[in-house]
Structure 1
Amino acid sequence: MTDAELARAIAVEAGELLQQIRREPGLTGAALGAKGDRDANTLILDRLHAARPDDFILSEESIDDRARCAAQRVWIVDPLDGTREYADGSDEWAVHIGLAVDGKPVLGAVAVPARNQVFATDDPPPMHPPCPAGLRVVVSRSRAPDIARCVGDRLGAILIPMGSAGAKAMAVVEGRADVYLHDGGQYEWDNCAPAAVALAAGFHASRIDGRPLVYNCENPLLPDLLICRREVAGLVLDAIAQG
Structure 2
Amino acid sequence: MPDTQAADRALLVDAARTAGELAASLFDRNVRSWDKSPGNPVSDADIAVDSFLKRRLIEARPDYGWLSEETADDAARRDRRRVWVVDPIDGTRDFLRGRSGWAVSIALVEDGVAVLGALAAPIRGQLFVATRGAGATLNNAPMAVSGRSALAGLSMPIDPQGLTAPFWPEPWDAVAVEKPNSLALRIAKVASGEADAFLEGRSISEWDIAAAALLLTEAGGTVSDRNGAALAFNRASPTVHGLVAATPALHAEVARRLGAGIAALSAVRREALNR
Q: TM-score range by the shorter chain?
A: 0.7 to 0.9
Distance 1:119 1:149, change over 3 A: farther
Give the secondary-structure state (helix, strand or coil) at the position aligned to 2:11: helix
Verify the 8 A CA contact 2:130 2:214 in the aligned structure 1.
yes
> Where does the alignment leave 5 or more consecutive residues of structure 2 unmatched?
1-5, 35-40, 264-275
Partner amino acid, structure 1, of 2:198: Y
CA distance in structure 2 between the partners assigned to 1:40 and 1:16 by the alignment: 10
CA distance in structure 1 between the partners assigned to 2:103 and 2:166 by the alignment: 22
Deviation of 1:109 (Å)? 0.5
> Where does the alignment leave 5 or more consecutive residues of structure 1 unmatched?
none
Residue in 1 that maps onto 2:53: 44
Residue in 2 that maps onto 1:134: 153
CA distance in structure 2 between the partners assigned to 1:108 and 1:211 by the alignment: 21
Distance 1:199 1:227, change over 3 A: same
Which structure 2 residues correspond to residues 121-200 of structure 1 after superposition, within 5 A? Answer: 121-122=130-131, 123-124=136-137, 125-127=142-144, 129-130=146-147, 134-139=153-158, 150=168, 153-162=170-179, 163-200=181-218
Deviation of 1:189 (Å)? 0.5
Verify the 8 A CA contact 2:146 2:194 in the aligned structure 1.
no
The number of equivalent residue pairs is 239
CA distance in structure 1 between the partners assigned to 2:214 and 2:167 by the alignment: 26
CA distance in structure 2 between the partners assigned to 1:19 and 1:12 by the alignment: 11
Residue in 2 that maps onto 1:30: 33
- How large is the RMSD of aligned CA atoms in angstroms? 2.7
Deviations 1:146-178 (A, max 9, x none): 999738x54422233512101211111122211
1:56 aligned onto 2:65? yes
Misfit runs of 4+, over 4 Å: 130-133, 143-149
Deviation of 1:99 (Å)? 1.3
1:225 aligned onto 2:243? yes
Give the secondary-structure state (helix, strand or coil) at the position aligned to 1:185: strand
Give the secondary-structure state (helix, strand or coil) at the position aligned to 2:232: coil
Residue in 1 that maps onto 2:3: none
Verify the 8 A CA contact 2:163 2:174 in the aligned structure 1.
no
Verify the 8 A CA contact 1:33 1:87 in the aligned structure 2.
no
Partner amino acid, structure 1, of 2:156: V
Q: Percent identity?
A: 31
Deviation of 1:130 (Å)? 4.9
Pick 1 or 2: higher relative contact order, CA cutoff 8 A, min separation 6.
1
Partner amino acid, structure 2, of 1:173: A
Distance 1:44 1:145, change over 3 A: farther
Residue in 1 that maps onto 2:273: none
Structure label with greater radius of gyration: 2
Partner amino acid, structure 2, of 1:136: S
Verify the 8 A CA contact 2:185 2:212 in the aligned structure 1.
no
Residue in 1 that maps onto 2:125: 116
